[in-house]
Structure 1
Amino acid sequence: MIVVSVEFEPPKYLAVAAGVKDRIRHGEFGRGEQLPSESALVREYGAGRTTVVRALQILRAEGWIDREHGRGSFVKAVPRNPETRRGIGETEFVQPEDTAGAEFVSAETREAPSPVCLALGVPEGTPLLLRRKFVHDDGAPKAVVSLWFPVEVAEETQLAHSRLLRVSVRQHLSSERAIRTDRVVERLAARFATAEQAQALKLDDGSPVLHAFAVLYDTSDRGVVVAEVVVSPLAEPVFEYTDLS
């Protein structure tokens, strides 16, 4: 069983998003009703416009609101049992790689960024196996997915092959390497796209995107794979909710 711990840093935009969620939960804004304008939210929360835009982006990605160009933001629904949601990064560990809309990009060994090395417990500059894919939704770019593996974890598996797996990464590690996974720790942030990410997602340079950073741990508490998922702000909501009632 995977136990998910989602750790957030406390930037202002998350506080704004949480405040709007509470107002929706308590009925201040009903389904289909329009939220206050960005300018009004700036005044109400004492935040900058960029902060408010990021908060609304989070709410849209989580399925709380729809945003209509030129009209504003409207309440879509109150997600049921939000504590059971599957994170963006966790999804890349537990669903088959070859899901609809997935496009294989590359599998290669390269030096990883410092946060990835730290999460996997390897020295900075250590070569790691990087698998990359693009995800499309109705032909439109939705996300760029990067999976990082220690080379010793990827040995004697199909992870270095240039094709999408028909099973999940978690299943593949279990069947090929007998690795038992235990939990996922995931962080979600809004940031500006790099030039490479903007090109892949067909966005303007510097466009805001959602960035998920998730680590899958085995039963000995060793990080065995890191998922970095960059999601277009134009994509449909990326969180999944499961009704367990």
Structure 2
Amino acid sequence: MSSEEYAPPKYAQIVQAIRRRIADGTYPPGSLLPSETQLINEFHVSRPTVVRALQVLQLRGVIEREHGKGSFVKATPPAAAEEASRPGRAVLDRAEADENGSPVSVGEHPAPASVAKLLGVPEKSPVMMRRVLFRDADRPVDLVTIWCPVELAEGSALGQPEPLTAGIRQHLQHTKGLKLEHVAERLSARHPSTEEAKLLELRKTAPVLGVLASVYNGGGRPALIVDLVLPGDLHELEDAYSL
């Protein structure tokens, strides 16, 4: 078996390279990272691969991304700022169209028991479901399912089959005046369901990380449920906190 078969995915190699440059001072705190086009040319990869790498760095609290301006190294290192990996928040801020996200199932769906309990609605009552598969140049990298009350989705693009051009949090605030305020997450290590394995191109016995997040509005009740599935061989979750 060749050494290439053990090499990390291309986006992970970019993540490692950028983190090394931040650590050695090549990219100091507050500095602007090279543009997506510059990274594409340097690493000889596609734009979705570069976008995925930047999204991972953002999720880990290493950089901040500003639409139309670029990606900046955080002024305070993640450990010092006690920044945790926050997958639920990262999902809410991702623009599907910019990160090679493809909706695979959108529309009203009977609420599964776990989702109904978290949303506080009767089991199997109709709710809006939005399932999106994200890929890099090589393979699927995660699967996101958003569940929300039908009345919340009305007047928004959550029920449309096209990729969203803005993050869900920004979109709902703009279209519905809804401010999402905090997230409660549950993490699990498990095997994928049959559908998850098919969409993520995994064996049924492959490990995945599951993140089930309740997203609350100012009224103190869940407005959205985020179900995120991450292939175990592509992802790790980090945290840092004081004792």
Normalised-by-shorter TM-score class:
0.5 to 0.7
The correspondence of residues 24-43 of structure 1 with structure 2, limited to 5 A, is: none
Q: Evaluate the alpha carbon distance shift between residue 178 and residue 114 of structure 1 in structure 2; reply closer, same or farther with a 3 A threshold.
A: same
Q: What per-residue deviation string (whole Å, max 9, x for no partner) do you get for residues 89-134 of structure 1? A: 2211122232323222121111122111111111111111110111
Distance 1:152 1:199 in 2: 31
The correspondence of residues 94-105 of structure 1 with structure 2, limited to 5 A, is: 94-105=93-104
Q: Evaluate the alpha carbon distance shift between residue 99 and residue 215 of structure 1 in structure 2; reply closer, same or farther with a 3 A threshold.
A: farther
Structure-1-length-normalised TM-score:
0.62
CA drift of 1:81 comes to 4.3
The match for 1:193 is 192
CA drift of 1:225 comes to 0.8
Distance 1:162 1:240 in 2: 35
Distance 1:186 1:237 in 2: 16
The match for 1:207 is 206
Q: What per-residue deviation string (whole Å, max 9, x for no partner) do you get for residues 63-96 of structure 1? A: xxxxxxxxxxxxxxx9734831242222111222
The match for 2:24 is none
Question: Is 1:125 aligned to residue 124 of structure 2?
Answer: yes
The match for 1:52 is none
Question: Is 1:221 aligned to residue 223 of structure 2?
Answer: no
Structure-2-length-normalised TM-score:
0.62
CA drift of 1:168 comes to 1.0
8 Å CA contact 2:116, 2:122 repeated in 1: yes
SS at match of 1:197: helix
CA drift of 1:159 comes to 1.2
Q: Evaluate the alpha carbon distance shift between residue 125 and residue 82 of structure 1 in structure 2; reply closer, same or farther with a 3 A threshold.
A: farther
CA drift of 1:199 comes to 1.3
The match for 1:184 is 183
Distance 1:233 1:79 in 2: 23
Distance 1:82 1:116 in 2: 33
What RMSD over aligned residues (CA atoms) do the two structures have, in Å? Answer: 2.6
Q: Report % sequence identity.
A: 30
Distance 1:163 1:235 in 2: 26
8 Å CA contact 1:142, 1:234 repeated in 2: no
8 Å CA contact 1:89, 1:214 repeated in 2: yes
8 Å CA contact 1:195, 1:206 repeated in 2: no
8 Å CA contact 1:97, 1:169 repeated in 2: no
8 Å CA contact 2:214, 2:225 repeated in 1: yes
